[in-house]
Structure 1
Amino acid sequence: MNPTDTISDRAKAIMESPMRADLEVYFDALENLYHPSKNPQGAFPLNMAENTLGWNLLKSKIQQIQENEIVPDWASKYGNTLGVDSFRETVAQFLSTFLIGCPIQQEHLAFSSGLTSVIDLSVFLLANEGDTAVFPAPAYPVYKNDIGAIPGIKRFDLQTHDTIDELSAGIPLDEKSLRQALKTLEESGERFKILVLTHPDNPTGAVYSDKQLTLIADWCIDHRIHLVVNEIYGCSLIDTNHPAIAGDYPAQVSFRSFGNIMAAYKSPYLHLWYSFSKDFGISGFRVGLVHSYNEAFLNAYANANLTHSVSNYTQWILQCLLEDHDFIADYLRQYQKELTACYVMVVELLKKHQIPYVPSRGSLFVWIDLSDWLEENTDIGQEALWLDIYHATGVLLTPGEGFGHRQKGHFRLVISYHIPSHLRVALQRLDDYLQKTVRTKD
């Protein structure tokens, strides 16, 4: 018997749809990780959005909590499926102070086991199977799986630009491009139900201006389209005033949370996603949230979230951590300083080799253009270059496949996966490779 005959058609479709193009090679790199003394020839995965820069500081604080605090009885019991009340209140205060910048209330928050669960459940409740969610391209590849595998929502990649230099001042998303996306989808018989923005963006590191977000919010409300802004990198900000990179930012557009617009509008069509995975480097804790003023949505979320709920013990640990605002402020200062230092190292290499890139204002990434090194301007040519870099240097970038942009030769480089001293070794290997490899377009 064929094993696939024992599973559902839905399972077959999921099985045949890889989560991301680089996963197998990533696991290969993990088996051979670089270590300065134990494995100096090892690999450098710069493709996975992991943040290790602040873990030592957080680890010490978490160990201190476990040693000095008494575990509450509620940690061992069932609780509110949206999140334990004291935890929700603590996170509301954290968001108000460190991310959104204006007061929000716990009743407008719901928590699930990681942002993937939040995305899965949010789109399941906001749209019907077969509806379409629109993403300005390039966009995080796994969004396709997050919204499609279980909720059955389609992904549409909206092309807002042709070349990477058009992103130097931000993502050129406006009403004209939204109207075109709506027209294209309607003409093909599809329903534009959700618009998802990542802010700061994955993979470009760009941010949306407050004016831009307001115009987009107005358009979405007018057309009864849900606008969801993913701010999972909202505290992973680059110091754009750093002297080594300040010249890359002629227009000083600073990150400002979409939560401020939500607080003013209180519209049922506006929502915000966040997780502690990236800013705090604790992806293994599996804690994500949705912020919304849509009461019907949150009521449905409460009923559907039992299978996605966060462990009460995890909520307790995070509650203790987030209650210490002095520690959080100090952590974010140190983390952002180190993140900026890593970004500067990468940019210096890119400038040395005249490689086009998007000046990042936040996130864990640099979006770079290596199209001048492509043997052929195709998906095959792009994959060949990606694998050649990995096999020659041990440095694994995220390939452009799956990001939804039509241009070839663009890659994502994660700046936070390794501590600065290890990242420096990886960049030296890339430097050697680029010096030895002739540009195909020279």
Structure 2
Amino acid sequence: MLLSKRGKRAINQPLRADLDLFYEAMENRYDESENPDGVFTLCIAENILNWKEMEAKLREVAAGPIPDWVPSYTAILGAPPLREAAAGLLKRFLAGVDLDAERLAIAAGAAAVIEMCALLLGDPGDVVVIPGPAYMAYTPDIANKAELERYDLFHLAPSTASASGGPALRKQDANSANYAFPTYYELTTDDLDRAHAELGDRFRVLLLTQPNNPTGQVYTEQQIADFSNWCVEREIHLVFNEIYALSMIDQDHDDLIDDYGERRWFTSSLRWLEQQKSPYLHWWYAISKDFGLSGLRLGMAYTYNEDLLKAWSNYGSTSMTSNHTQWMMAEIFTDLDWVAAFVRANTQRLSDSYATVIQVLRKHDIAYARAMGSLFVWLDLSAFLTADTEEAELALWREVYDKTGILLTSPVGMGSPQRGWLRMVYSCVSLAELGVAMARFDHWLGLRPGN
């Protein structure tokens, strides 16, 4: 036998449905001079818009003396200098209050943090409830080793429920400048009650991502409090994933301001977690998105669950981040003025890129989610479906790639309540390259029937 049963399953369980095509497309990427007919991989959540500044900062840090602790073993929960630096960073930019560095756990990227929490908080067959649509790779992250199950939860209300039982995602009035559909995230505790009634004790974790992947939308402070109280009362773990917490859209941007008549601002749950100090409330973060450093593999969790931290310190050695990365990030995190300037530039560049996409969608009356943050546009191509089936949805996704050279994220596993909504990542190419991609997309939309 060449592999275990688990190994055999892994052969036929790719991380995500678009990975093979992504690798193929990466061999034919667009280059203005070398490959002008190349393709755009607008499907992987990476942010390269600030790499020039980040590269210079990494070079600056790397030129300094390396502390003696770097080549040695360090605490499994993370090197103390990094945890202290991270607590200070999070206080300044998210929490607004002092955080206890001893409550932080560090791991090799967001996926490692998700997997560690899944292993230590749930048993095989337990369920993680995730409001949809949501990041497709939550499924393998919680299932491959921990064997937890995913449940996509949708908000249902009389004003938005469709005949099929899901939210009716309708375009705005064609005469309005705002083509975005009403926010998905009107989630209420009634929705949680409905999931709990169906799942019973298997409802082990509620996972809330804000800003959301793929919609870019956020929760209100009242929702954060309501969901936290609901979970604590029922001894259900609640995790806030705020991996895009510093990747905001400027709602006053000249090309976007008409979308934001009713403002909703991002509020981190960290202040609430610090106030409540409940063992059922947890928080996740990583440097892959806001700092554009997905390759450095550093994620973190914040929790007042002492048992979780103790278990992590016993089980987490295989998920540790390299000390060299921990040292460099500690140096960056302590330079708060540099981080502040970096975040401001990030907001401006994300907003410019987001607006580049939105302007084309408005031109063709394509509905999209009104994003407050993240790296995505969640857009509605359902009018181009030939049937309400997964096969037709995948065919549409592939048509976009074949006709435009734009590889969007595969719709498989995104937990959308309606077919035909696709995710576009706009931060993984330069603004100039995005302009070329959107010119192709504009042309393709113009050739569709009815345009």
Q: TM-score range by the shorter chain?
A: over 0.9
User: What are the equivalent positions in structure 2 for 1:39-438 lying under 5 Å apart?
Assistant: 39-67=35-63, 69-160=64-155, 161-165=166-170, 168-186=182-200, 191-438=202-449
- Match in the other structure for 2:6: 10
User: How many correspondences in the alignment?
Assistant: 432
Verify the 8 A CA contact 1:164 1:357 in the aligned structure 2.
Answer: no
The letter of the residue matching 2:190 is: K
Distance 2:280 2:430 in 1: 40
Verify the 8 A CA contact 2:136 2:414 in the aligned structure 1.
Answer: yes
Distance 1:170 1:183 in 2: 22
CA RMSD between the two structures: 1.3
Structure 1 spans left out of the alignment, 5+ residues:
none
SS of the residue corresponding to residue 70 of structure 2 reads: helix
Identity of aligned residues (%): 39
Say yes or no: does 1:22 pair with 2:18.
yes
The letter of the residue matching 2:438 is: L
Structure 2 spans left out of the alignment, 5+ residues:
156-165, 171-179
Verify the 8 A CA contact 2:207 2:238 in the aligned structure 1.
Answer: yes
CA shift for structure 1 position 250: 2.4
Verify the 8 A CA contact 1:164 1:369 in the aligned structure 2.
Answer: no
What's the CA shift string for 1:350-376, capped at 9, x where partnerless? Answer: 100000101100000011110111122
What's the CA shift string for 1:226-269, capped at 9, x where partnerless? Answer: 00010000000001111321221222111010101101111100
CA shift for structure 1 position 170: 4.8
What's the CA shift string for 1:53-100, capped at 9, x where partnerless? Answer: 111100011112212x10111100001111111111001101111122
Verify the 8 A CA contact 1:170 1:207 in the aligned structure 2.
Answer: no
Distance 1:152 1:167 in 2: 35
CA shift for structure 1 position 105: 1.5
Distance 1:82 1:420 in 2: 38
SS of the residue corresponding to residue 75 of structure 1 reads: coil
CA shift for structure 1 position 438: 1.6
Distance 1:251 1:269 in 2: 32
The letter of the residue matching 1:222 is: E
The letter of the residue matching 1:70 is: P
CA shift for structure 1 position 412: 0.3
Distance 1:278 1:65 in 2: 20
CA shift for structure 1 position 10: 2.1
Distance 1:80 1:419 in 2: 39
Distance 1:32 1:221 in 2: 50
Distance 1:227 1:261 in 2: 12
CA shift for structure 1 position 405: 2.1
TM-score normalised by structure 1 residue count: 0.95
The letter of the residue matching 1:367 is: W
Distance 1:372 1:31 in 2: 31
SS of the residue corresponding to residue 396 of structure 1 reads: coil
Verify the 8 A CA contact 2:296 2:325 in the aligned structure 1.
Answer: yes
Verify the 8 A CA contact 2:243 2:289 in the aligned structure 1.
Answer: yes
The letter of the residue matching 2:358 is: V
SS of the residue corresponding to residue 196 of structure 1 reads: strand
SS of the residue corresponding to residue 369 of structure 2 reads: coil
Verify the 8 A CA contact 2:181 2:367 in the aligned structure 1.
Answer: no
The letter of the residue matching 2:129 is: V
SS of the residue corresponding to residue 133 of structure 1 reads: strand
- Match in the other structure for 2:176: none
CA shift for structure 1 position 167: 5.7
What's the CA shift string for 1:163-187, capped at 9, x where partnerless? Answer: 335962351211111010011113x
Q: Which moved more, 1:12-21 or 1:29-38?
A: 12-21
Distance 2:275 2:184 in 1: 24
CA shift for structure 1 position 437: 2.0
Verify the 8 A CA contact 2:154 2:187 in the aligned structure 1.
Answer: no
CA shift for structure 1 position 407: 1.2
- Match in the other structure for 1:37: 33
Distance 2:58 2:169 in 1: 41
Verify the 8 A CA contact 1:170 1:208 in the aligned structure 2.
Answer: no
The letter of the residue matching 2:185 is: I
Q: Which moved more, 1:25-34 or 1:167-176?
A: 167-176
SS of the residue corresponding to residue 440 of structure 2 reads: helix
SS of the residue corresponding to residue 361 of structure 2 reads: helix
